[in-house]
Amino acid sequence: MEKCMIELKDFKKESDVPKETIEKYRNILPAELIEVWENYGFGSFYGGFLKTVNPEGYIEVLHETAPFFEKEIVMFSTGLADLITWELPTEEDTLGYAHILFYRVEDFKALTAESLEFFFDSIIDQDEFLRDKRLLAAPYFKAVKQQGEPAYDEAFGYTPLLVLGGNDNIESLQKVDLMAHIALISAFHGGPVFDTDEPSTNELKVDNQPTEHKVDSEPKKKKFFGLF
């Protein structure tokens, strides 16, 4: 194992990343993620909220539930059944973009561009703005205090679903199969959750206060706010 510049002290390893997977994505995904794959593998960190995942296992998920993002590559899943994807650079736009797809409220944000260096630095520094305003992760950490961390293939999901009028309080969060929960949200949505770049009309609240998850209705590449 090479010396790792990114130190994830609470990383819980699920499995190694196959060498062929690393080589396939080495010049496609951000170098920081490849470094984590090589030194840590697939697993969870940041209190179990973030999970490195095999992109191959999410190709069909994006195709069926998020065709607007199906050309992107899934890098992480979260403890609230969100997905974080990477949009590849193009000739017109040479920056790559990380997006987080909030299936729970049927909305998305641009997190960062070009690399994941600042993203990982903020994770390591336990930045509260990233946690509460960018990742909307506060409900997860409150649920963990009551129920413990979900397993690698699990997440906390609102039951009943918010799309069905469920409550967004901590008591409504239950451990669910992550993939099945995303599929369930899509099914009750009546089709793909992200088949357009129009913002959702749902509003997620934390401690009865609306979060800042709203996005404008411009094309997704215009939705880059910077990480902070």
Task: Give the model confidence (pLDDT) of 148-197 as tens digits.
Answer: 999 999 999 999 999 899 999 999 999 999 999 999 999 998 888 998 76
Q: pTM for the whole thing?
A: 0.86
pLDDT of residue 1: 45
Asked if the model's pLDDT at residue 212 lies above 60, the reply is: no
The total number of structural domains in the chain stands at 1
Residue 186 identity (one-letter amino acid): S
Asked if the structure places residue 4 within a domain, the reply is: no
In the beta sheet, which residues pair with residue 84? 76, 100
| pLDDT (average), residues 68-82 | 97
Asked if the structure places residue 136 within a domain, the reply is: yes
Torsion, Cα 210 171 51 74, to 10 degrees, reads -50
Domain with 97 in it: 12-222
Asked if the model's pLDDT at residue 59 lies above 50, the reply is: yes
How far is Cα 206 from Cα 209, in angstroms, rounded to an integer?
A: 5
Asked if the model's pLDDT at residue 200 lies above 70, the reply is: no
Strands of 46-186, DSSP E: 50-52, 73-78, 83-87, 97-102, 107-113, 154-158, 173-177
pLDDT digits (tens, 9 = 90+) for 32-50: 999 999 999 999 999 999 9
Closest CA to 163 of 137, 140, 192, 185: 185
Asked if the structure places residue 67 within a domain, the reply is: yes
Asked if the structure places residue 41 within a domain, the reply is: yes
Asked if the structure places residue 154 within a domain, the reply is: yes
Asked if the structure places residue 228 within a domain, the reply is: no
